Homo-oligomer: A and B are copies of this chain.
Amino acid sequence: MLDVCLLGTGGMMPLPYRKLTALMTRFNGSNLLIDCGEGTQVAIREKGWSFHDIDVICFTHFHADHISGLPGTLLTMGNAERTRPLLMIGPKGLERVVNALRVIAPELPFPIEFHELSHREETIRVNGYRIHAFRVQHNVTCYGYSLEIERQGRFDVDRAREAEIPQKYWSRLQKGEVIEDGDRTLTADMVLGPPRRGIKVTYCTDTRPTQRIEDCARGSDLFVCEGMYAEKDKEAKARQYKHMTFAEAARLAAAAGVSELWLTHFSPSLSHGENYMRDVKKIFPRASLGTDGRSVELDFIDE
């Protein structure tokens, strides 16, 4: 099961009634955070999720509303007695930016490991997460992220028998163990059917809609996508500042065939986003407004 929480839904600046956009997930005791704006730590605390178990922080880009809360969050993680290394993933310059911000958080009880994205797309596997980072189109280098929890195939008795694998090894192989049996090396793929559908969440902000977002989001159970502007007459503004309108996000969701779309990263000038949702749902019926702290538990689906 993957728990997903949209910690905030604002863009540009935190507001009294709207926290900055960030996403947190929990899987198998390992938490992952995407972006960390001013106040993100308060949103995590409101939700009651663990600081201690944040193992990975991914950054879309280095605009302040996506990273300004980092020094405080690191100190709070330290205060939660975290000692395990923290992995940070983000665009080139990550280490420089983080170290500059750490002028006010120089001492932490855990080490930080940096993974700077140097290609247009990269896949990183950590703690059961398959993290796929892909370049999006903003006015600075910016990445979207697909988080996948992969699911192995069913145990296939016929295959196991055909391969003449002793029954005593079946359970261990199914759990992924590699077993040396005489001169043979036995592996999970010898007893399993094809991989089954896993869980997939795609997170995308700040960006114009692009074909690669559509490709990377394809088949997501949840697509969290920016919709900076709602009004139809803001499309020119969205193009100018490299953001999206609700309608553009909905068209992307429809094209990518995702199960659900949550809109987020609203302009401070946007209020009453619900007034625009009737038109948005005409484009993609499973679209809805993100709200601060909105969460969902995503399970494996048997097909």
- CB atoms of B16 and A45 under 8 A apart: yes
Write the nearest CB–CB distance from A88 to chain B, whole angstroms.
Answer: 15
Q: State the copy count for this chain.
A: 2
Write the nearest CB–CB distance from A25 to chain B, whole angstroms.
Answer: 21
Given contacts A42-B39, A46-B16, A69-B38, contact A103 B104 (CB under 8 A): no
A60-68, A117-125, A155-163: which one contacts chain B?
A60-68
In the complex, per-residue mask of A47-78: 1 if CB is within 8 Å of any chain B CB, else 0: 00000000000000011110111011001100
Residues of B within 8 A of A298 (CB): none
Write the nearest CB–CB distance from A11 to chain B, whole angstroms.
Answer: 12
A255 at interface by CB-CB < 8 Å:
no
Write the nearest CB–CB distance from A190 to chain B, whole angstroms.
Answer: 51
Alpha-carbon distance A15/B242, docked complex (angstroms): 33
Closest to A19 in B: B42
Given contacts A101-B100, A103-B100, contact A42 B16 (CB under 8 A): yes
Alpha-carbon distance A39/B14, docked complex (angstroms): 8
Alpha-carbon distance A39/B71, docked complex (angstroms): 13
A-B contact pairs, 21 of them (CB 8 A): A13-B75, A13-B79, A14-B39, A14-B42, A37-B72, A38-B39, A38-B42, A38-B69, A39-B39, A39-B42, A62-B104, A64-B72, A64-B104, A64-B105, A65-B72, A67-B104, A68-B68, A68-B69, A96-B103, A97-B104, A100-B103
Q: Which residues of A contact B (CB under 8 A)?
A: 12-16, 37-39, 41-42, 45-46, 62-65, 67-69, 71-72, 75-76, 79, 96-97, 100-101, 103-105
